[in-house]
Structure 1
């Protein structure tokens, strides 16, 4: 059993940090959050409602994780803290700049989030002994992170081969982060992998082709999904190294790839509209192929009437319903490896 969750990552797990950094963001206005929250600023999530981290907290009997930048909420939270920020990268800006990758909506990359975590623990713990005691029964989640490093590279015209060349550096950054987290006192760490990005509407739009051989039986782009698997394989190897270095720490891989595929491949049974599996619920493309012309949150951007029937919320992020099914799959997959029960 664990009684607190600490989270690093990006928009897949951000519960409000980004909208505190950028209150004018589309994520800070409806229809974001509309399914579960009273308003978008109360949500702060890049979805129509709850994220996987919310379902993890609910399953553990814990409150939703407060965003670190919301000082009204995050004075001292005994049940964890969320340091994830939408748009965050695993690599710092100067490293990305060397590869001519400059776009990032946030300055709060993974290193900054780690510094926040250190500051937070220094504030709630008297010394190293006290910190070790407080964190003994906590769960740490590092990621998903790294997806934006690749996304920004793709958006700036990099080829799959060029982006593939980034993977060792991104994985090393994640590995170094886990080492620091363990140094803070983490005993149980979950490190999620990447989603099958070849199934996401935004990637299908950017890399669309008339070559039918480029797609699998679910009309996902095979080369992009192979790229995700390559990242995940490299990450799993890094976790093996971390386990050998830290035999007393439980290091678990979070299989986002297969959790998503479980939802995708069983969409009909789960109540999703299979005719709209690659159409977002919000933004241009609700009723046809995804388009970058009108983003979710823009004035007059269309919204589908039944978000629970869609897997994709805005072309990049998923709906609450999809996240719930993924979270359930992951909870059953991860818990035995954590040697604890909810």
Structure 2
């Protein structure tokens, strides 16, 4: 009888495994949400700057060498971005750049390298699409979709889609801390952070008014840990670039508090705080456990930490980017972006607060 019982348990377990695989196969091709919309800077720009007059460009090799097509796309890394992996999790196609004039049916990416919360941010590079302009483009997209699907259906699409916002780094590195910056002259650190949070507050409220309900907002990464800032400050300050990490944390604390307030004031919003700071600090501190060999040096570049000279066609580049946390003087490798996406999708409360995206969607 015991043998029969074991046989029954084995067959039941096998049945459950097969049933689970069938269920997964049935749902594997169906989008989890209607669309994915992206706003922000070079951490999520998938090619908008290809259409702009700017030195903030990545439409040349070795950028994109490990991407699906093995060609440069305008992404500031060797392969995919975190939002590309997020699209995979959502069973959506890779989100196209807005300036390519694509179909908007399943989302669009407005992000622009060099841009920031402030309109003036990134002017040292040339053209860029500030957050306020990205929101204006989003309104235009909604109008076009309303003409195509009707207002009610479009409102439903927006309310059920994911909106990912990653912005703020350039406001510090390529605005406030630029020698001769008027913001550095007129604002101390606290008041400048307050200025940014106030601006982002208005922008997130506008995003909500446009129709976004499921909104993910990325924190600042540890700005003092990127190769460019390590190279810049390691020889001119006793504390090196660590003050930038302090600045990042001060901003992130106020960003976290802002999202807590918005959860109360925006009654229908599901707001997720994506802690890039915690994620990247964990990866950096435990880099060997994550499979990396180098945690502070860029794969592509020259100078200290390969962070003094940017990644250009004739600049030395490593053979295996998967050994590096950083691809160039500012941006992570595709391997790092994959880890960021994994933790956004199914990470713990220190990585994605108050819940991760998978839980938000009831998966």
Indicate the residue corresponding to 2:232 in structure 1. Answer: 206
Cα distance in 1 between the residues matched to 2:243 and 2:279: 19
Cα distance in 1 between the residues matched to 2:305 and 2:331: 16
Alignment check: 8 A CA contact 2:40 2:112 kept: yes
Indicate the residue corresponding to 2:168 in structure 1. Answer: 146
Alignment check: 8 A CA contact 2:55 2:125 kept: no
Cα distance in 1 between the residues matched to 2:118 and 2:152: 31
Indicate the residue corresponding to 1:278 in structure 2. Answer: 296
1:2 aligns with 2:33: yes
Structure 2 portions without partners, runs of 5+: 1-31
Indicate the residue corresponding to 1:117 in structure 2. Answer: 138
Give the 5 Å matches for 1:232-251.
232-251=252-271
Cα distance in 2 between the residues matched to 1:6 and 1:102: 25
Alignment check: 8 A CA contact 1:282 1:314 kept: yes
Cα distance in 1 between the residues matched to 2:107 and 2:237: 48
1:228 aligns with 2:251: no
Cα distance in 2 between the residues matched to 1:308 and 1:244: 41
Change (3 A) 1:183 1:291: closer
Task: Give the match's secondary structure for 1:279.
Answer: strand
Alignment check: 8 A CA contact 1:283 1:296 kept: yes
**TM-score, normalized by length of structure 2?**
0.81
Alignment check: 8 A CA contact 1:19 1:25 kept: no
Cα distance in 2 between the residues matched to 1:65 and 1:315: 25
1:187 shift after superposition: 1.6
**TM-score, normalized by length of structure 1?**
0.86
Task: Give the match's secondary structure for 1:34.
Answer: coil
Task: Give the match's secondary structure for 1:283.
Answer: coil
Q: 41, 46, 49: which is aligned to 2:76?
A: 46
Cα distance in 1 between the residues matched to 2:192 and 2:356: 32
Structure 1 portions without partners, runs of 5+: 216-220
1:320 aligns with 2:334: yes
Q: 85, 91, 97: which is aligned to 1:67?
A: 97
Cα distance in 2 between the residues matched to 1:125 and 1:50: 31
Cα distance in 2 between the residues matched to 1:20 and 1:330: 30
Please tell me the root mean square deviation across aligned C-alpha atoms, in Å: 2.3
Task: Give the match's secondary structure for 2:108.
Answer: strand
Alignment check: 8 A CA contact 1:30 1:39 kept: no
1:165 shift after superposition: 3.0
Indicate the residue corresponding to 2:16 in structure 1. Answer: none
Indicate the residue corresponding to 1:170 in structure 2. Answer: 196
* Corresponding residue pairs, total: 319
Alignment check: 8 A CA contact 1:256 1:330 kept: no
Change (3 A) 1:23 1:208: closer
Cα distance in 2 between the residues matched to 1:115 and 1:264: 37
Indicate the residue corresponding to 1:218 in structure 2. Answer: none
Alignment check: 8 A CA contact 1:86 1:106 kept: no
